[in-house]
Chains A and B, each alone.
Chain A
Amino acid sequence: MGAGHMSEQLYGQLLDIAAGALLLTAVLILWRRELAAIITVFALQGIALAVLVGLIAVEEGSAELGLVAVGVLVLRAGVLPGLLRRALAGAGATRRETRPLVNVVSSLLAAAGLTLLAYAVSQPLVALDPAPAAHAVPVAMAVVLIGFFVLVTRRLALSQLVGFLLMDNGITAVGFLTTAGIGVVVELGISLDVLLVVLVLQILKTRIREAFGDTDIDDLRELHD
């Protein structure tokens, strides 16, 4: 328990705003169709996550966490969206998700359902720790589930990548909210993992496009017995 460097209530409210921003950006990604817009919203989510971590750093009074917050900002609001934009530039004509597997209205309803599920599942965690950080955990869990949903239902490879990164943002948020400090090393590990995935997917995407044309994943049906 760090020393309260701001009042309990203020801390709680700011935390809730940051968490809310996380959830809002996740839903926006579900709603928007243009890839450019999706990437921008993802960048905004990165900023929200950085703010969340920064708030916790201030509350805990930990310089290490402050550095981590800066790192998160750079990575998830800067580097990753940059890479995604570069991929988008080379993607060719398809700039919109024209036919998602689940239409927008159903996606939004599903997002609502997943948020409720996340709240139901996180009840024991919240009951365990009455601190304001714990109250934001269900929101982060909802982000994870929504990210998974995006991964499953989008056709374009780039959208699926964004969904994956959404999941990772949510996991990081849950990690920081539930523990006193997830530690630089673990955050480093997760980030490196994510970078690796992005790079590998970049390479693969290029090869797939060379072999099959544009990256509509649903057209790939070779992965069977």
Chain B
Amino acid sequence: MTGLGVAGVVLQLLIVVALSPLLTGMMRQLRARMEGRAGAGVGQPWRDLRKLMRKRPIAPHGTTEVFRTAPLVLVATCLVVAAVAPFVTAASPLDPVADLFAVVALLTLGTVALALAGIDTGTAFGGMGASREATIIALVEPTLLVAIFALSVPVGSTNLGAIVTSTLHDPAQVFSPVSLLAAVALIVVIIAETGRLPVDNPSTHLELTMVHEAMILEYSGPDLAMVELASSMRLTVFLGLLANLFVPWGIATTGQPLLVAAAVLAFVAKVALLGALLAVGEVFLAKLRLFRVPELLAGSFVLGLLAVGASFFLA
């Protein structure tokens, strides 16, 4: 429980909670500009959140506690992951929780809570969104775990801190085929898990094309604010993991305030860059049919499997 560790946790939580809506806003603004629109401004998501918080909560008929607590679970899981992941520092005081399998499972827990809430509404849209989300979760798991396997082989552990520290000490590791294949596989996984194009369109208004949005149709007011905040935080956390697992330079290894500030800036810059790339890519992609998504995920699974095979045969 070093000072660096505690400072890191606090800073990470602050950054993720405060800046993730700005990330979403930045991505939307970039897309708008590229599509020839004026855009709502980078701070719009925060304005939306503030507006939603002031609205009166609504409890739809026939829903149970599951519906009411799902947004809380979603936000809580994102907070836990933000606290343990190696964004600003690799020496987390919550090291026994900073296991890649545990982090991935926590994020899945959040999605499951939302899916249950979707079913709990009893509407066909909620059920449909939950059903599609469950299919995507089921098909993403193999790729995810195999990619984690590939990442852990050079290090000999799935502990997040250990992986980041090992890459820091051995920069050439990043350019090996193992890393590159695993990175591509993980990019596809992140797109599927965060519900971005081409797997799911986050800005669609047609219910039959929704996956994530369909599950949250009945939410309004503070609940909707929590759900929106949680999805921004998920995106930030996933992009942050992608960035720091493969390109960890800038992470603070000692407790000097200058290094910590530099680590914060580096993290924000990396996530912003990745978000911008994602937004630009989305402009040129259309949403895939639900039944084409398994093909995409199968392709990423093969890449992950090749990564593991490469880690053995090229070791």
Direct contact between A and B judged by beta carbons closer than 8 A? no
Interface residues of A (CB under 8 A from B): none
Interface residues of B (CB under 8 A from A): none
